[in-house]
Amino acid sequence: MTERIIDLAEQLARLCVRNQCLVIEPPADEGERITVPLAELAVLVISQPHVTITQATLAGLAQAGGIVIVCDERHMPVAMLLPLEAHFAQAERFERQAQVPLPTRKRLWQSLVRAKIRAQARLVTDLRGDDGGLGELAARVRSGDPANVEAEASRRYWPLLFGPRFRRDRDQPDQNRLLNYGYAVLRAIIARAVCAGGLHPSLGLHHHNRYDAFRLADDLMEPFRPIVDRAVVRCCEERGPAAPLDKQAKAALVGALMGRFTIAGESRTLFDVAARIAASLVAVYAGRRKTLALPEL
Protein backbone atom coordinates (compact mmCIF):
# COMPACT_ATOMS: atom_id res chain seq x y z
CA MET A 1 0.00 0.00 0.00
CA THR A 2 1.20 3.51 -0.83
CA GLU A 3 2.15 5.61 2.20
CA ARG A 4 2.21 9.34 1.50
CA ILE A 5 3.28 12.37 3.54
CA ILE A 6 1.77 15.68 2.43
CA ASP A 7 2.97 19.03 3.77
CA LEU A 8 0.74 22.02 3.03
CA ALA A 9 3.24 24.80 3.70
CA GLU A 10 2.75 27.42 1.02
CA GLN A 11 -0.45 26.79 -0.91
CA LEU A 12 -3.75 28.29 0.17
CA ALA A 13 -6.35 25.54 0.09
CA ARG A 14 -9.61 24.15 1.41
CA LEU A 15 -9.57 20.50 2.45
CA CYS A 16 -12.61 18.25 2.23
CA VAL A 17 -13.47 14.57 1.72
CA ARG A 18 -15.29 13.14 -1.27
CA ASN A 19 -15.67 9.47 -2.18
CA GLN A 20 -13.12 8.37 0.44
CA CYS A 21 -10.55 10.78 -0.95
CA LEU A 22 -8.90 13.90 0.46
CA VAL A 23 -9.58 16.80 -1.88
CA ILE A 24 -7.19 19.77 -1.81
CA GLU A 25 -8.92 22.72 -3.46
CA PRO A 26 -6.85 25.88 -4.11
CA PRO A 27 -8.48 29.27 -4.67
CA ALA A 28 -9.84 29.91 -8.16
CA ASP A 29 -7.13 30.38 -10.80
CA GLU A 30 -4.34 29.43 -8.33
CA GLY A 31 -3.76 25.82 -9.22
CA GLU A 32 -5.41 22.51 -9.90
CA ARG A 33 -7.46 20.42 -7.50
CA ILE A 34 -5.53 17.49 -5.99
CA THR A 35 -7.22 14.24 -4.93
CA VAL A 36 -5.56 11.65 -2.70
CA PRO A 37 -7.22 8.41 -1.49
CA LEU A 38 -7.50 8.49 2.31
CA ALA A 39 -6.13 4.94 2.48
CA GLU A 40 -2.84 6.17 0.96
CA LEU A 41 -2.32 9.15 3.27
CA ALA A 42 -0.08 8.41 6.25
CA VAL A 43 0.69 11.93 7.52
CA LEU A 44 -0.82 15.32 6.69
CA VAL A 45 1.22 18.33 7.88
CA ILE A 46 -0.61 21.67 7.84
CA SER A 47 1.71 24.66 8.23
CA GLN A 48 -0.01 27.20 5.95
CA PRO A 49 -2.07 29.37 8.35
CA HIS A 50 -4.85 29.98 5.82
CA VAL A 51 -5.69 26.36 5.06
CA THR A 52 -9.26 25.47 6.02
CA ILE A 53 -10.36 21.92 6.85
CA THR A 54 -13.78 20.39 7.48
CA GLN A 55 -14.74 18.21 10.43
CA ALA A 56 -15.57 15.41 7.99
CA THR A 57 -12.00 15.58 6.69
CA LEU A 58 -10.51 15.16 10.16
CA ALA A 59 -12.88 12.26 10.87
CA GLY A 60 -12.14 10.61 7.54
CA LEU A 61 -8.39 10.83 8.01
CA ALA A 62 -8.63 9.38 11.52
CA GLN A 63 -10.88 6.52 10.39
CA ALA A 64 -8.40 5.67 7.65
CA GLY A 65 -5.52 5.63 10.15
CA GLY A 66 -3.92 8.88 9.05
CA ILE A 67 -2.14 11.40 11.26
CA VAL A 68 -2.66 15.18 11.14
CA ILE A 69 0.11 17.53 12.34
CA VAL A 70 -0.70 21.21 12.86
CA CYS A 71 2.10 23.82 12.82
CA ASP A 72 2.42 27.32 14.25
CA GLU A 73 3.47 30.56 12.53
CA ARG A 74 7.11 29.38 12.57
CA HIS A 75 6.08 26.21 10.71
CA MET A 76 6.94 24.17 13.80
CA PRO A 77 4.58 21.33 14.84
CA VAL A 78 2.39 22.16 17.84
CA ALA A 79 -0.35 19.49 17.76
CA MET A 80 -1.03 16.01 16.43
CA LEU A 81 -4.31 14.18 15.78
CA LEU A 82 -4.27 10.39 16.15
CA PRO A 83 -7.01 7.79 15.57
CA LEU A 84 -8.91 6.96 18.77
CA GLU A 85 -9.73 3.38 17.77
CA ALA A 86 -7.22 1.62 15.59
CA HIS A 87 -7.32 -2.08 16.53
CA PHE A 88 -10.05 -4.60 17.32
CA ALA A 89 -8.22 -5.82 20.47
CA GLN A 90 -7.29 -2.36 21.66
CA ALA A 91 -8.86 -2.56 25.14
CA GLU A 92 -7.19 -5.89 25.91
CA ARG A 93 -3.82 -4.58 24.80
CA PHE A 94 -4.23 -1.40 26.83
CA GLU A 95 -4.69 -3.56 29.94
CA ARG A 96 -1.55 -5.61 29.24
CA GLN A 97 0.40 -2.47 28.46
CA ALA A 98 -0.61 -0.83 31.74
CA GLN A 99 0.43 -3.92 33.73
CA VAL A 100 3.83 -4.59 32.15
CA PRO A 101 6.40 -4.98 34.97
CA LEU A 102 9.18 -2.46 35.49
CA PRO A 103 12.03 -4.94 34.77
CA THR A 104 10.55 -5.60 31.33
CA ARG A 105 10.27 -1.89 30.59
CA LYS A 106 13.87 -1.36 31.69
CA ARG A 107 15.12 -4.22 29.49
CA LEU A 108 13.28 -2.85 26.47
CA TRP A 109 14.62 0.64 27.09
CA GLN A 110 18.13 -0.79 27.26
CA SER A 111 17.70 -2.31 23.79
CA LEU A 112 16.36 0.95 22.37
CA VAL A 113 19.21 3.04 23.77
CA ARG A 114 21.79 0.57 22.51
CA ALA A 115 20.22 0.60 19.05
CA LYS A 116 20.15 4.41 19.05
CA ILE A 117 23.80 4.78 20.03
CA ARG A 118 24.88 2.15 17.51
CA ALA A 119 22.98 4.03 14.79
CA GLN A 120 24.66 7.26 15.90
CA ALA A 121 28.06 5.53 15.77
CA ARG A 122 27.44 4.31 12.22
CA LEU A 123 26.37 7.78 11.09
CA VAL A 124 29.40 9.49 12.62
CA THR A 125 31.69 6.84 11.09
CA ASP A 126 30.13 7.41 7.68
CA LEU A 127 30.53 11.18 7.95
CA ARG A 128 33.79 11.58 9.89
CA GLY A 129 35.62 8.25 9.43
CA ASP A 130 35.56 7.34 13.13
CA ASP A 131 32.73 6.75 15.61
CA GLY A 132 34.24 8.92 18.35
CA GLY A 133 33.94 6.12 20.90
CA LEU A 134 30.16 5.80 20.53
CA GLY A 135 30.33 2.09 19.70
CA GLU A 136 32.07 1.44 23.00
CA LEU A 137 29.42 3.42 24.86
CA ALA A 138 26.62 1.32 23.35
CA ALA A 139 28.07 -1.80 24.95
CA ARG A 140 27.98 -0.11 28.38
CA VAL A 141 24.22 0.46 28.45
CA ARG A 142 22.62 -1.63 31.19
CA SER A 143 18.98 -2.41 31.93
CA GLY A 144 17.12 0.89 32.33
CA ASP A 145 20.35 2.80 31.53
CA PRO A 146 20.91 3.82 35.19
CA ALA A 147 24.25 5.47 34.35
CA ASN A 148 22.53 7.59 31.66
CA VAL A 149 24.94 6.47 28.97
CA GLU A 150 22.47 7.89 26.45
CA ALA A 151 23.25 11.42 27.68
CA GLU A 152 27.00 10.79 27.58
CA ALA A 153 26.67 9.56 24.00
CA SER A 154 24.67 12.69 23.13
CA ARG A 155 27.42 14.96 24.51
CA ARG A 156 29.88 13.30 22.14
CA TYR A 157 27.53 12.92 19.20
CA TRP A 158 26.29 16.45 18.53
CA PRO A 159 29.73 18.15 18.35
CA LEU A 160 30.88 15.42 15.96
CA LEU A 161 27.94 16.20 13.67
CA PHE A 162 27.68 19.99 13.84
CA GLY A 163 30.80 21.26 15.58
CA PRO A 164 31.81 22.00 19.19
CA ARG A 165 29.56 25.09 19.54
CA PHE A 166 26.34 23.29 18.66
CA ARG A 167 23.75 22.66 21.39
CA ARG A 168 20.54 20.68 21.01
CA ASP A 169 18.05 23.43 21.84
CA ARG A 170 14.60 23.39 20.23
CA ASP A 171 14.36 27.19 20.24
CA GLN A 172 17.63 27.99 18.49
CA PRO A 173 17.40 29.32 14.89
CA ASP A 174 20.00 26.94 13.45
CA GLN A 175 20.13 23.23 12.66
CA ASN A 176 17.68 22.71 15.52
CA ARG A 177 14.77 23.96 13.40
CA LEU A 178 15.37 21.24 10.83
CA LEU A 179 15.84 18.60 13.53
CA ASN A 180 12.58 19.64 15.21
CA TYR A 181 10.60 19.31 11.99
CA GLY A 182 12.13 15.98 11.00
CA TYR A 183 11.60 14.51 14.46
CA ALA A 184 7.96 15.65 14.46
CA VAL A 185 7.23 13.78 11.22
CA LEU A 186 9.16 10.74 12.48
CA ARG A 187 7.19 10.85 15.73
CA ALA A 188 3.92 10.88 13.79
CA ILE A 189 4.96 7.81 11.79
CA ILE A 190 5.86 5.89 14.96
CA ALA A 191 2.72 7.07 16.79
CA ARG A 192 0.62 5.87 13.86
CA ALA A 193 2.17 2.40 14.09
CA VAL A 194 1.67 2.34 17.86
CA CYS A 195 -2.04 3.11 17.53
CA ALA A 196 -2.49 0.70 14.62
CA GLY A 197 -1.00 -2.02 16.81
CA GLY A 198 -3.64 -1.45 19.49
CA LEU A 199 -1.25 0.22 21.95
CA HIS A 200 -1.75 3.45 23.88
CA PRO A 201 0.82 6.12 22.93
CA SER A 202 0.82 7.64 26.44
CA LEU A 203 1.93 4.46 28.23
CA GLY A 204 5.67 4.59 27.64
CA LEU A 205 8.67 2.50 28.59
CA HIS A 206 10.99 5.24 29.82
CA HIS A 207 9.75 8.73 28.93
CA HIS A 208 7.55 9.92 31.78
CA ASN A 209 6.79 13.61 31.25
CA ARG A 210 3.25 14.00 32.62
CA TYR A 211 2.42 16.45 29.83
CA ASP A 212 3.61 14.15 27.03
CA ALA A 213 0.71 12.29 25.39
CA PHE A 214 3.03 10.31 23.09
CA ARG A 215 5.55 8.82 25.47
CA LEU A 216 5.62 5.39 23.85
CA ALA A 217 6.16 6.91 20.42
CA ASP A 218 9.02 8.97 21.89
CA ASP A 219 10.55 5.76 23.27
CA LEU A 220 10.29 3.74 20.08
CA MET A 221 11.51 6.51 17.76
CA GLU A 222 14.91 6.80 19.46
CA PRO A 223 16.83 4.40 17.14
CA PHE A 224 15.42 6.22 14.10
CA ARG A 225 16.57 9.74 14.98
CA PRO A 226 19.87 9.40 13.08
CA ILE A 227 17.84 9.15 9.85
CA VAL A 228 16.75 12.75 10.41
CA ASP A 229 20.20 13.74 11.67
CA ARG A 230 21.84 12.53 8.46
CA ALA A 231 19.38 14.50 6.32
CA VAL A 232 19.99 17.65 8.38
CA VAL A 233 23.77 17.28 8.04
CA ARG A 234 23.43 17.01 4.27
CA CYS A 235 21.12 20.00 4.10
CA CYS A 236 23.44 22.16 6.19
CA GLU A 237 26.49 21.11 4.18
CA GLU A 238 24.72 22.31 1.04
CA ARG A 239 23.08 25.46 2.43
CA GLY A 240 24.91 26.36 5.63
CA PRO A 241 24.05 25.90 9.34
CA ALA A 242 21.34 28.58 9.11
CA ALA A 243 19.55 26.75 6.29
CA PRO A 244 15.90 27.88 6.30
CA LEU A 245 13.09 25.49 7.06
CA ASP A 246 11.58 25.96 3.61
CA LYS A 247 10.04 23.75 0.98
CA GLN A 248 13.42 22.42 -0.14
CA ALA A 249 14.52 21.52 3.38
CA LYS A 250 11.20 19.87 4.22
CA ALA A 251 11.32 17.82 1.03
CA ALA A 252 14.79 16.57 1.98
CA LEU A 253 13.70 15.62 5.50
CA VAL A 254 10.53 13.88 4.39
CA GLY A 255 12.42 12.17 1.57
CA ALA A 256 14.87 10.69 4.07
CA LEU A 257 11.99 9.18 6.04
CA MET A 258 10.50 7.71 2.86
CA GLY A 259 13.60 5.60 2.22
CA ARG A 260 14.02 1.87 2.78
CA PHE A 261 15.67 0.14 5.73
CA THR A 262 16.78 -3.36 6.62
CA ILE A 263 14.97 -5.45 9.21
CA ALA A 264 15.34 -9.22 9.53
CA GLY A 265 17.35 -9.18 6.29
CA GLU A 266 14.52 -7.56 4.31
CA SER A 267 14.33 -4.11 2.74
CA ARG A 268 11.28 -2.28 4.09
CA THR A 269 9.80 1.21 4.26
CA LEU A 270 9.89 3.06 7.55
CA PHE A 271 6.13 2.53 7.85
CA ASP A 272 6.63 -1.25 7.60
CA VAL A 273 9.53 -1.18 10.07
CA ALA A 274 7.52 0.88 12.57
CA ALA A 275 4.59 -1.54 12.28
CA ARG A 276 6.91 -4.49 12.94
CA ILE A 277 8.40 -2.86 16.01
CA ALA A 278 4.94 -2.13 17.39
CA ALA A 279 3.87 -5.72 16.68
CA SER A 280 6.99 -7.06 18.40
CA LEU A 281 6.24 -4.90 21.45
CA VAL A 282 2.72 -6.35 21.56
CA ALA A 283 4.27 -9.82 21.48
CA VAL A 284 6.64 -8.93 24.34
CA TYR A 285 3.70 -7.68 26.42
CA ALA A 286 1.83 -10.92 25.67
CA GLY A 287 4.83 -13.07 26.68
CA ARG A 288 5.39 -14.47 23.17
CA ARG A 289 8.87 -12.96 22.69
CA LYS A 290 11.63 -11.28 24.70
CA THR A 291 13.07 -8.65 22.37
CA LEU A 292 11.96 -5.90 20.00
CA ALA A 293 12.35 -6.22 16.22
CA LEU A 294 14.82 -3.38 15.71
CA PRO A 295 16.13 -2.28 12.28
CA GLU A 296 19.65 -1.95 10.91
CA LEU A 297 19.86 1.70 9.89
Name the band, by pLDDT with cuts 50, 70 and 90, for residue 47. Answer: confident
Do 179 and 228 meet the contact criterion of CB atoms below 8 Å apart? yes
CA dihedral (228, 229, 231, 236) positive or negative: positive
Q: List alpha helices for 215-268, DSSP H.
A: 215-220, 225-239, 247-257
CA distance to 8, 16, 45, 235, per residue, from 55 (Å):
18, 8, 16, 36
DSSP H/E element including 46: strand 41-46
- What pLDDT is attached to residue 293? 93
pLDDT in tens, 233-271: 999 999 988 889 998 999 999 999 998 888 778 889 999
Domains located in the chain, CATH noted? 4-81 (3.100.10.20), 90-285 (1.20.120.920)
pLDDT in tens, 173-224: 889 999 999 999 999 999 888 888 888 888 999 988 776 778 999 999 999 9
Mean pLDDT of the chain: 90
When pLDDT is averaged across residues 61-83 and rounded to a whole number, the result is 83
Name the band, by pLDDT with cuts 50, 70 and 90, for residue 230. Answer: very high
pLDDT in tens, 76-114: 778 888 776 655 567 788 888 899 999 999 999 999 999
Do 183 and 245 meet the contact criterion of CB atoms below 8 Å apart? no
**Side-chain half-sphere exposure of 260, counting CA atoms within 13 A:** 4
- What pLDDT is attached to residue 220? 97
Cα diameter, the chain: 61
